Amino acid sequence: MGIHRFVKSKLRETVDEAGPAFSKEHDEKTLSSQHVPSLRSWNSICIVGLTSTAMLLNICGVSSMSIALPSVGRDLGIPTSTLQWLMTAYSLTSGCFLLLFGRLADIFGRKHVFLLGDIWLIAFSIGCGFANQGITIIIMRALAGMGTAATIPACLGILAKTFPPSRARSIAFATFSAGAPIGAAFGQVLGGVLTQYAPISWRAIFFVMAGIAAVTFIGAFLTFPPDAPLSEDRRVDWVGAFLITVGLVLFTFVLGQGQIAPQGWKTPYIISLLVIGLLMIGGFIAWEHHVEFRTDKPPLMRLSLWARAGGRFAAVQVIGFLAWAAFSTFSFWATLYYQNYLGLPPIQTMLRFLPMSVTGFLVNVVFALVSGVIPAQFLIMIGCIGTGLANLLFAVIQTTAPYWAFGFPAAIVSVFGADFIFASSTLYGSHIAQHHEQSLAGGIFNTVTQIGTAFGMTITTIVYDTVIRSQSVKEGVVLNEDGSNASLAAQLYGQRCAQWTSFAFAMAALAVAIVALRGMGIIGGSAKKAPSPEDPSPKDLEASGEPSEKLDQAGANRNSAERPVAPQPAPDEPVPKYGSPLESVMSEDTIVDEDTGSKPPTGQPR
C-alpha cells in the first residue's frame, strides 16, 4: 500500500475533527478572532462542574462501599472471603474498559459516550439497590463500573477540547481532579450515615448515587458542547480492544484473588489465568505495533504516544502506577488500623478521613495557581513526597498518641500528594495528546492508576499476611483461614510493614520523577506564540497528524532546501496556532536545550 494513502488514512480523523482550522478558506482574520473560553461563563462553569461530579461519582462508588461492606455481607449472606468483590468487581470493570471507551469517545463523540455511560451507571446502580442475593449485587456492581469507564475518559476529552492550553484549562483540570478526594470523603460520609441511619440501610447509597448521576445526565445533555462531525474513518480496533480488555481483567483478577485462593498463588487456576492475562497484554502490544506501522487501520492505542516528549509521557504513567500503589493502600491499611486495632465504629473512622476532602479541594486550588509558575516535574515530585510521607507516618505511628499527631497530618499530606500527581499528569497528557487522542490519553492514565491500586493492594496484603503468620508462630497462635484471630500486636506490626512497603512505592515514583522528567516545563497557563520554525520533515508531520497537503508541501520544501533541517522534538507544552494544537510551535524565548541549559540563537532550528 502506498505511503500517501497510508498517511492520509492515518490523518483523516484529525483533519475532520479540526474542521475549519485546516481549511484554506479559513483566513488570518478569522483565526485571530479565536479566544480561550472563560471560566466565568455559565456554560463553562457547568461543564467543569458536571465533569468533576462524574469523577466524584466514580470514586464515591468505591469509598461508599468500604464503610457498608459488613452490613451488606450480613443482609445478603455474603461470606467474608467473597465480600471484597463488592468493591473489586466495580474497580475491575471501571479500570479495564477505560482504554476501549476512551478510544470510542474519540471516534464517535465524547458527549454521546458520556451520556450513554451515565445512563448505564444509573440503571445498574438502581439494580444494586434492589439486589437480594450476593451474586446479583456483585454482577450489578461490575456492570455499573463499565458506566464510569465510559464517562471518565469522555470528561477528560471534553475538558481538553473546551479549554485550549491556558490558565482556564489548568483550573478546569484541577477542579476535575478535586472530584477524586472529595468523592472519596463524600463516599465515606454517605456510606457511614446511610448505612447506620437510613431506613433501608446500605441500599440507600445506590439510590442516592443514581439520583446524582441522573442530575449529571440532564446537565450534560443541556450544556456539554455538541460532538464534532464523525470522521470518515470510524473503524475500531476490536482485536486490540479484546486483547487488552480481557488481558487486564484477567491480570487484575489474579492480583485480587491470588492471595485468598484455596492454595494461594500456587492454585492452578490462578497460575493459568496469570499466564493467559500476561500473554494477552503482550499480544496487544505486538498487535498495536503491527496495526500502527504495517497497516492503514487506526490502532486502539498508538504505541508511539508513549515515546512522545522524550519518553516523559511514559514516565508519567509509571509514576501514576507507583503513586497509586502507595496512596490507595494508605487508605486501606489506615482504615483497618482504626477499625480493627483501635476498634472504632464506621462513623468515627469516617470522621478521621474527613480532612481529606477539605484538603483535596484546597490543594487543587493551589495547583491551579502554581501550575503556571512552577515546572510540572517539581509539582509531581512534591506529590510523591506527600504520598510517601503519609505512609511513613502510619509506619511509625504510636498507638497512644492522639489523632492530631499522626492521623491528621497523614490524611492531609496523602491527598496533597495524590492530587498534585493526578492534576499534573492529566493536564500534561492533554498537552501531549492530539485532538483525536484526548480521551484515550486520559483513559491510559486512569487505567495505570487502577492497575497500580490492584498491584499495591496485592503486594502489601502479601507482606501483611506473611508478617502476621510469622508473628503468630512466635506467639504460639494458630491462625484461622483469614487470619482474623491474630493478636493485636501481630496485626499492628503487619500493618506497619504494609505501610513501609507503600512508602517504598512512593519513593520509587519520586526517583522516576527526578530522573525521567528532567526538562519538563511549565504546563499551566498559556505559552507565548512565536513565528513558525523551519518547515518540519514529512516524517515529523506524519507523527504529529498534519493534513496531507502540508505533508506534500513539507516534502517539497525539504527537497529544495539548501541546508539540512534538524529533527523537531515534540514540545512538552504545545502552543495552539490558528486554533489547533497540531500546528503548534514553541516561542524562541522559552526553548532551552535540555542538555546544556542554553537557548539556541535566533532563527536556528531546534
Q: Is the pLDDT of residue 389 over 90?
A: yes
**pLDDT per position as a tens digit, 560-602:** 443 444 444 444 444 443 333 333 333 333 333 333 334 444 4
29-67 per-position pLDDT tens digit: 333 334 445 555 888 889 999 999 999 998 888 888 877
- Contacts from 127-130 at CB under 8 Å and sequence distance 24+? 128/206, 129/203, 129/204, 129/205, 129/206, 129/207, 129/210, 130/203
**CA separation, residue 465 to residues 79, 137, 410, 482, 491 (Å):** 19, 28, 24, 9, 9
The region of weakest confidence among 268-277, 393-402, 429-438 is 429-438
Mean pLDDT value across residues 543-566: 42
Angle between helices 134-162 and 407-432 (to 10 degrees): 60
Domains in the chain, CATH or no CATH each:
37-236 (1.20.1250.20), 247-299 (no CATH), 309-526 (1.20.1250.20), 538-555+566-606 (no CATH)
Q: How many other β-carbons are positioned within 10 Å of the β-carbon of residue 238?
A: 10
| Contact by Cβ (8 Å): 159, 172 | yes
Would the pLDDT of 226 be above 60?
Answer: yes
96-113 confidence digits (pLDDT tens): 898 889 889 888 889 999
Q: How far is CA 231 from CA 11, 12, 99, 205, 301, in A?
A: 10, 7, 19, 40, 17
At 232, the pLDDT band (50, 70, 90 cuts) reads low
> What letters, b where the CB count within 10 A reaches 16 and e where it falls short, cover 545-578?
bbbbebbeebeeebeeeeeebeebebbbbbbbbb
Provide the residue count of the chain: 606
Backbone angles phi, psi at 154, to 5 degrees: -65, -40
When pLDDT is cut at 50, 70 and 90, the band that residue 482 belongs to is low
Q: What is the pLDDT of residue 5?
A: 45
Q: How many Å separate Cα 58 from the centre of its chain?
A: 11
Percentage of the residues of the chain whose pLDDT score is greater than 90? 29
When pLDDT is averaged across residues 552-556 and rounded to a whole number, the result is: 43
Confidence at 203, pLDDT banded by 50, 70, 90 = very high
Kindly state the average pLDDT of the residues 479-485: 72
- State the average pLDDT over residues 80-95: 79
pLDDT at residue 382 greater than cutoff 50: yes
Residues 6+ apart with CB under 8 A from 464: 333, 494, 495, 497, 498
For residue 155, which of 252, 70, 58 has the smallest C-alpha distance? 58
Q: Which pLDDT does position 233 carry in this prediction?
A: 66
CB 521 within 8 A of CB 431: no
pLDDT at position 13 over 70: no
pLDDT tens digits, one per residue of 255-304: 877 777 778 888 999 999 999 999 999 999 999 999 988 888 888 888 88
